[in-house]
Structures are given as structure tokens and as C-alpha cells.
Amino acid sequence: MSLPLSQLDVLWGPPLARVDAGNAIERVSTDSRSDLTGALFVPLVGDRFDGHSFLMAALETAGAAVAQHERITPEMVAKAGELGKPLWAVANTQLAYQQLGRLWRRHLGAPVVAVTGSAGKTTTRELIRAVLAPLGPVVASSGNENNDVGVPLTLLKGDTTTAAYVVEMGMRGLGEIERLSRCAEPDVAVITNIGTAHIGRLGSREAIARAKTEITAGLAPQGLVVIPAGDPLLEAALARGWQGRVQRVALTDETSGFDADLPAADLVGALEEDQQLRLDQGPPLPLPLEGRHNARNFLLALAVARELGVQLAEHGAAAWAVAVPGGRSRRLQVAGIEVLDETYNASPESMLAALELLAHQPLAAGGRRYAVLGTMLELGEHSLALHRQVAERAKQLQLDGLVIVDAGAEGEVMQAAAEGLPRLAKVAEPEAAAGALEAWLCPGDVVLLKASRAVALERLLPLLGCSDGPS
């Protein structure tokens, strides 16, 4: 990175301390503990921390700094002047950090793909990263870098070799994705689905749809939105804020059930029994991650690849190295038992998709299918009904056993809905599930583990003998 200080003057006006306008910053840091040599230090403010507490010390080594107006002291200004370090005064350092991310993104000019949705954001992000690899180095969000701090952090990781960005955008309320979109200014926006995650905060799926379609706020006018076909709620919300191009994807066997008044799918794929995806033209493509839900996610990624000029026929599965973070779409083997590790997080939609995946797992002779399910959070007044729906589906799929991890009302509702399964247990903590599983599991069995992040269901993994421990 090399950003001339004069460009920062354009953003924020002249600094409080006079410096040579020809100087440049080499990087941006929000961590006073890092090596700040040549860096612009941005002290962020949170509920329990204030980076301004470390500003005086940071000025000793940092190349420059910004600070919020009301937190700047005469001592800070004097120290910056004494050291010859530019110190800019801004209204909000978090906004300043996002402005820096946008400035650097514009400077590089690499295409940006933004991804949001109620479920499957991270998996779709990784699928897009994989199919764009033929373009060159791809910078993508990692971990939980999908918020007001993580999105600019991702953008600032790019350099002159960056061929594309893939930026995940999460939210907990209205207005958040709009900010992130205006920061990243995407060329392509992907919405994986509209579900019920965070419905306890937003109140309805309609509000969730409004929040997710905020991703178009910073979308280039000539840009593209990629969505699953057949969702009237998503179509209505999208139409309120976006009049540009839209590409819709669908699996072949879904299209017959779509409302005839909705736009047809532009990219249709048939999921074959051998986990290959056959498009309208060309040979079938091996599915990088199994399951119908991942086939839809892959279609979204393929639409992005086509938009950005990747020739799919020239790049087969060998080029699609999909590295999904721990606790998502991960298979572990222990003592002849297969563990489907989906412990990272859960929403009603992802729970149902994981159960479908479990139900379609091929089994060795005598093998059985089990699930360990914890609770899903932030569902508000809909929580009991949605937990009941998940347990009812487990029963409909005729699983051989279910362990419910919850000591509250949701666990009781799930247990009642699953009555009639051959084996059923309810425990309060993840570790307690090991007792039931030890009595049930035999070589050839498959067991699914899935719950919201706060349940920490990964604590069960070492008790099952999974050598790599928690994800």
C-alpha cells in the first residue's frame, strides 16, 4: 500500500499538525500493539474499549493517525506537532476506517463481489473465491470479517496483484449492510436467500429482506445482482431499491414450483445423483461441496464467474480448491463413524438443509443416521415454532436417533415434536451428549452436529475421539 497524505487531506481536510504533503502511508492499523512503523493508526471506539487511550503511545512509531474530534486533547496535538506526525480530526473513526477501505478499493480498481444472505454466506463466499481463482489472486473475507470493521479490513488487504475481492456482509439490524455496501462499492452483489436468522431482532422476513437488499446501496449502476429464483419476498424487496441487472439461479427440479408471475431463472442446473451439476451447456461440473443447498450456492458462484469472465469450460474441479472454515461442511472420521461437523452456527434454514444432507448420506450395511442438534438464537417470538419445525423434520426424515442439547423451552418443544424416533435424548450441555452417542454409535454410522455458535457444540468433538478437536 502507498497512499499519499494529500489524498487523506481530500477525505478529512488538512491535519492538525503540518507535514510534508508528499509523504505517504504504507498501511492502516487499528491495533496499537502491532508494528505501526509507516502505518496510519485508526483508534476505534467500542462499547468496552477506546483506542484513543493508546493514541499518545502510537504516535511514537506510527506514521500518522486520526482521532475523533471530541476525544482529541491539547496534549495529543502537541505530541503530533513535536514528532511531525499528521493527526486528522474526524467525526467518527469507524466511518474514517471505512472511507480508507473504499479509497484503497477505488485505487486498486479490482472488481468487488459482495455476499450476504440469511444462510450460506460464508460457504458461498468460499465457492466464489474458488471459481474466481483463475483470474489471479483473490482477496476474501475471513473468519467473522463481515461487519463494520471487517469489511474495510478486507479491502485494505488488497495490493496491486489483487484480481478480485469477495466480501461477506453480515448484519444484526437495518442500515448495517447499506453502510458496508457503500464502503465496498461492489460490482456484483449476491444474496444467498431470505430466511429467519435474526428474525427476533428484525421482527419479520419482510424486514430481513429489506435489510439484505441494502447490499445494492453502493452497487455500481452497471453492476449485477445474483439471487436464487422463485422467492417473491426477495423479488419485491429488491425491486424497491434496484432497477439494474439481476441474474437468477435455480435447480431444475425447483422451477416447476415457482410462481408463474415471477421472473424465470437465467442459470439452471440439474443436480445429478453423483453430486455433479449439469448446466444448460457443456459437461457436468463436479460439486465442490455436497448437498442441494450447496448446489444452489455453487450456482450463485458460477453466475459470478460468468459475469467476471471466467471460462468455466477451461477450468475444471481441480481449480476449485474450496477451503470452508471449521465447523462448516466438514467431515471427520473416527473408529468407522463419520461425523458431519456443522457446529459453527445454525439458522432454521441451515438446520433443515443439514438434516436433508444427513438423510441422503449413503450408508454401509447396518449403518444408521443420527443428529445432535442444539438451539438456534435470535428468533424471538418465533423461536418455539421454528425449533418445533426442525424437530418435526428430523422425525419425518426417519433418523435413527436425535440428541437435543438444551435445558430450556426450545429443547422441550423439540423433544415433544421428535417423539417416536427410535432413539431420543435431551441433555443440557454438549459434553452430556457423548453419553447417549456412546451407547448408540457403531461403525458405519453417520452423525450430524449442528447448533448456534453460542451453544459451543464443538466441545463434543474430542469426546467422540475426533483427533483434530474443536473446529
**Along the 471 residues of the chain, how does pLDDT read in single tens digits?**
788 888 888 899 989 876 654 578 889 999 999 989 989 999 999 888 899 999 999 999 999 999 999 999 999 999 999 988 999 999 999 999 999 999 999 999 999 999 999 988 999 999 999 999 999 999 999 988 999 999 999 999 999 999 999 999 998 889 999 999 999 999 999 999 998 887 888 888 999 999 999 999 999 999 999 999 999 999 999 999 999 999 999 999 888 778 888 999 999 999 888 888 888 767 788 888 888 889 999 999 999 999 999 987 655 554 567 877 666 778 888 888 999 999 988 899 999 999 999 999 889 888 999 999 999 998 989 999 999 999 999 999 999 999 999 999 999 999 999 999 999 999 999 999 999 999 999 999 999 999 998 999 999 999 988 755 443
C-alpha cell of 253? Answer: 427440479
Q: Print burial letters for 306-327: b (CB count within 10 Å at least 16), e (below 16).
A: bbbebebeebeeeebebebbeb
Residue 26 CB: number of other CB atoms within 10 A? 12
Calpha distance 249→269 (Å, rounded): 8
Helix segments in 175-275, DSSP class H: 176-184, 199-202, 205-212, 232-241
CB proximity list for 294: less than 8 A, separation 6 or greater: 120, 123, 127, 287, 288, 329
Query: Can you tell me which residue has the cell 435445558?
Result: 407
**Amino acid found at 216:** T
Predicted local distance difference test score (pLDDT) of residue 21: 45
Do β-strands 330-334 and 285-286 pair in parallel, antiparallel, or remain unpaired? unpaired
Is the whole model's pTM more than 0.75, yes or no? yes
C-alpha cell of 371? Answer: 443428529
Phi, psi dihedral angles at 430 (to 5 degrees):
-55, -40
**Amino acid found at 349:** E
Residue 280, burial from CB neighbour count under 10 angstroms (0-12, 13-18, 19+): exposed
Predicted local distance difference test score (pLDDT) of residue 200: 82
Predicted local distance difference test score (pLDDT) of residue 317: 53
C-alpha cell of 357? Answer: 444432507
What does DSSP assign to residue 140? E
Predicted local distance difference test score (pLDDT) of residue 471: 39
Calpha distance 122→104 (Å, rounded): 24
Instruction: Go through the domains of the chain in sequence order and give each one's CATH number.
Output: 3-91 (3.40.1390.10), 97-310 (3.40.1190.10), 330-464 (3.90.190.20)
Beta pairing partners, 87? 65
Calpha distance 161→138 (Å, rounded): 9
Q: Alpha carbon 333 to chain centroid distance? A: 26
C-alpha cell of 10? Answer: 481530500
Calpha distance 463→242 (Å, rounded): 50
Phi, psi dihedral angles at 45 (to 5 degrees):
-125, 125
C-alpha cell of 311? Answer: 471460462
